[in-house]
Each structure stands twice: as C-alpha cells, then as structure tokens.
Amino acid sequence: MAAPPVVAVRRSPVASLLESLETLADPTRLRLLRLLERHELEVAALCDILQLPQSTVSRHLKLLSGQGWLDSRPRGTTRLYRTRAEPDPAARRLWLVSRDQTAGWPTARQDDLRLQRRLSRRSPAEAFFAGAAGRWDRMREEAYGRAFTDAALLGLLPGGWVVADLGCGTGHAAAALSPHVGRVVGVDQSAAMLKAARKRVAGLANVELRPGRLEALPMEDGTCDGALLLLALTYLEEPAAALREMARILRPGGRGVVADLLRHDRDDFRRRMGQRGFGFAPEELKQMMEAAGLEGAACRELPPEPGARGPALLLSTARRPLKPQKERS
C-alpha cells in the first residue's frame, strides 16, 4: 500500500481522523507502533524483528514521525525511535483500539519473540537505558531525590580545606559543606541569624560560627582555602570592602565564590528584603572581584529555577594570586 503524504499544516479533526485511520490501516505501521510503544529501537533492530528491508522500514518510520506518532534521537551514526510520550489524544484512542484488536495477531506474536531474542543479547543496562533516556530525569528524581547530586559535587572539594561562609545567615551552606571539608567558619553580624545557624550546625564539630562584619572579618590573613559570599553582597553599603576582606583571608591560590542578585529594577523586592543595592551586572562583579585583589574572575548568570520568585542570580568565582600582584610584573 502506498504511504500517504506527510503534511505539516494544522488539520481539521475530521482530516486528522482520516489520516490516523489511514496510518493505522497498514500492517507494517501497526507492527512498528506495537514494538516502539514498549522499546526504543534503531532501524537495524526493526528490520531484523519485522524481517523487512531497510528501505521499507525507513519509509514507514519517516511517515509515522512526520505525523507525530514517533519521537527519535540520534545515537552514534544511527537513530533511536519510540512512540511519542504525549501523542494527539484522538489518535491515541484509535491506537488503543488498534492495539487491543491486534493483541492475538500471530504476526505480532512473532515480532515479540524476535524482539525478546534481540533484547536478550543486550546487557540489562543496555536494554534499560535504550528505552529510558526520555524518562530518565524524572525517574532519577523519583527514585533517588535531588540532593545527592550536590553532595557528590561537594565531594570534589579537597577534604582538608578550611572554608569561610561569609554572611552565613542560618548556616545553610556551612552545614552542607561540613561533611566535605576540614573546617567551616561562618561569619554574620546578625545575632538572630547566628542563633538559627547554631541550631542547624549543632553536632557538626568542624563548624565554627563567629559574630562579625563582612567589611572587617574576624579572621587572620591567608587562613582560608575557600570563601563563600552567598546572597550577602547586595546588603552592603560598600560591597568592594567585603570583597577585599574575602581576598585578604584567602591563602595564595585560595578560591572565592560569590552568588548574588543579577542587576534588576524591582524596588519593592529590594525594600521587602532589606537590601541596599539592585544586584550586579556580570561584568561589574567580575571587575569588583579583580579590583579586590583576586584573579581569574569569571562571572555568569544562573538560569532561574522553576518557581523561584526573586530576581535571577549570578555566580562569580576567582582566586587569590599565588604571588602578590605587585611582585608579578
């Protein structure tokens, strides 16, 4: 039977119905849909299972893809196909009837046997991930949650590091860092925030909290391997002073990380949160880091998280030079 043409324009419900009926009226396409609903397969596997030449299989795949029945993605030099996760609802209903009616079809049974033979040649991991790529992100979160990725990334930190959490607030970052580094020193001027932080880090022997101002840190020169300034800079009248202090407490080669608000114009938000500034432009923050005596500053906007209502954020990293800047030229 000749394949109907692929037409991209939006159709009336009747035209769509006729097209779906015509599509499903072909036994090869029924067999393909039955297979690809359960497994993501490449053309070679489909040719083997259907015992049809590649040109025939490819022609039907092209038509089914063009009509929105299939999704595909590249893998190496080939493509993997499977039925679309969210098909047209009317077409889906027709398909469910067709699937039901072909359940006892001997041809489909033969296809299933050849599919099983093919799949049994794959390792369990190959068989599973060949069909899971489109769903993996959701499955990963449902099965294991989200936090372990951050924990794994923190595991990249050198275990003996001393890290300063400047403007530590309620100790969110200090508590997260604690299992992964040698020592964390949190500094904040707010007694109330420090009280909440103490509660959070109770029992974490390597976290120390100190009252103090970011513009005059209660820490010796060069005593930290890393320093964080998370959501604190925009509260300061003189953010450059806090960056200079951050540079001062870092050892040569130590890393400073700033996360703060990307420049915005939401005065209501700024007032409500008690902030002084409207955040920073990436280039501005980068230059401020370098002016504070840090080198290799890089700054980028962070993609806003779904559901986050505040202004977008930016992230900047830099390091204290190994040699004092005046000695280097």
Where does this chain bind ligand SAM (CB under 6 A)?
167-169, 172-173, 188-190, 193, 213-215, 230-232, 235-236
The residue (of 57 and 231) whose beta carbon lies closer to ligand SAM is: 231
The residue (of 50 and 214) whose beta carbon lies closer to ligand SAM is: 214
The residue (of 49 and 230) whose beta carbon lies closer to ligand SAM is: 230
Smallest distance from the beta carbon of 264 to ligand SAM, in angstroms? Answer: 15
Q: Please report, in angstroms and rounded to a whole number, the separation of the first and last CA atoms in the chain.
A: 79
**CA triplet 68, 73, 79: central angle to 5 degrees?**
105
Smallest distance from the beta carbon of 274 to ligand SAM, in angstroms? Answer: 8
The residue (of 41 and 197) whose beta carbon lies closer to ligand SAM is: 197
CB atoms within 10 A of CB 311: 20
The residue (of 111 and 188) whose beta carbon lies closer to ligand SAM is: 188
- Helices 27-38 and 89-101, interaxial angle, to 10°? 100
- Would the CA dihedral through 226, 230, 235, 237 be positive or negative? positive
CA-based radius of gyration for the chain: 30
Q: Are 41 and 80 in contact (CB under 8 A)?
A: yes
Smallest distance from the beta carbon of 200 to ligand SAM, in angstroms? Answer: 11
Smallest distance from the beta carbon of 172 to ligand SAM, in angstroms? Answer: 5
- Pairwise CA distance, residues 200 & 174, whole Å: 9
Smallest distance from the beta carbon of 73 to ligand SAM, in angstroms? Answer: 38
Q: Nearest residue by C-beta to ligand SAM?
A: 169
For residue 322, report the phi and psi dihedrals to the nearest 5 degrees.
Answer: -65, -35
